[in-house]
Amino acid sequence: MNKIITIPLILVLSSCSSNQIKTSEAPIQTPFISQPASPPKAALVAIQLPSQTGNKSRHHSIIELSGKSFLNVEDTDKAEQSAQQESWLPRIARYLKQGVASWYGPGFHGKKTANGEIFDMYEMTAAHKTLPIPSYAQVTNLENNKTVVVRINDRGPYSGNRLMDLSYAAAKKLGIQSEGTGKVEIKAISAMQALPQIQKTAESQNKKVYFQVGSFGSESKALKLQDKIAAHNLPEPTIHTSKQRKNTLYKVQMGPIKSKQNAEMLSYQLAKIGIKDPQIVTATRQN
């Protein structure tokens, strides 16, 4: 006699939404499937959820010297601080690519770059299409293994398949100024990783390295930030002015920065009071 075996079938209904995916990247939740108290024996069915693709936007914000997690860290040793700091770098800061670099100079010297500053062909800077402004990159000439650290302050190049436009000074140090182009490796690095080279370059130019914690068109805002930092028993910043066309900028700076350890500690202390984006700048001071 043939026995009729009843196999329970569990249907999982999935629906597709025609609404546009939001960029907030909300976590995907697995649909809840209710089960009877004594579930029957049944074959397990693997349900594969669609992975989130698309809507990938480039990250162009300023690389911070201190990680966001520092705000919630109390008594953390230096090793943990450095590890957390690096882990919070923007994803694009892991950029590593090989290709052709060129250089630009006389035709652009004295003109504005993409971030509004004046291009100086004798500074260690570069133009890149996607890396954040400002940020830093280590560039290595694959022919002679010479390496430089440049600050990204401009956009380009827009000619051919070139990855980067170097300043004349950077191209000369790499040894590609005569040929005009060269094959290089470009690696995005954090400001802290760039600091030793920045200090070395500043020393050769009789300059010092500072943290710039703010730049304002209003003197009162600069003074307010200065007072906020001083109120937390940190070294009191100085305010320096500069002219940009008919406007005056009030730059709040701290330093000079004497070592990487000094920079990391100061960055950590600033992050604890909500100042998360100090920039590394070089300047000549009277005293």
pLDDT digits (tens, 9 = 90+) for 52-96: 333 333 233 233 333 332 333 333 344 444 444 444 444 555 799
pLDDT 10s digits, 131-154 = 998 899 999 999 999 999 999 999
Confidence band (pLDDT; 50, 70, 90) for 245? low
Nearest Cα neighbor of 64 from 42, 41, 87, 47 is 87
Is there a contact between 166 and 150 (Cβ–Cβ < 8 Å)? yes
CA distance linking residue 85 with residue 278, whole number of Å: 14
245 conformational bin, left if phi > 0, alpha if psi -120 to 50, beta if neither: left
CA distance linking residue 223 with residue 143, whole number of Å: 50
Is there a contact between 270 and 278 (Cβ–Cβ < 8 Å)? yes
CA 70 to chain CA centroid, Å, is: 16
Peptide bond into 157 cis (omega under 30): yes
pLDDT at residue 69, as a whole number: 29
User: What contacts 17, CB < 8 A, 6 or more positions away?
Assistant: none
pLDDT at residue 182, as a whole number: 96
What is the percent of the chain with per-residue pLDDT over 70, rounded to a whole number?
A: 66
Comparison of pLDDT for 121 and 51, the residue scoring more = 121
pLDDT (average), residues 217-242: 93
Confidence band (pLDDT; 50, 70, 90) for 244? low
pLDDT at residue 11, as a whole number: 37
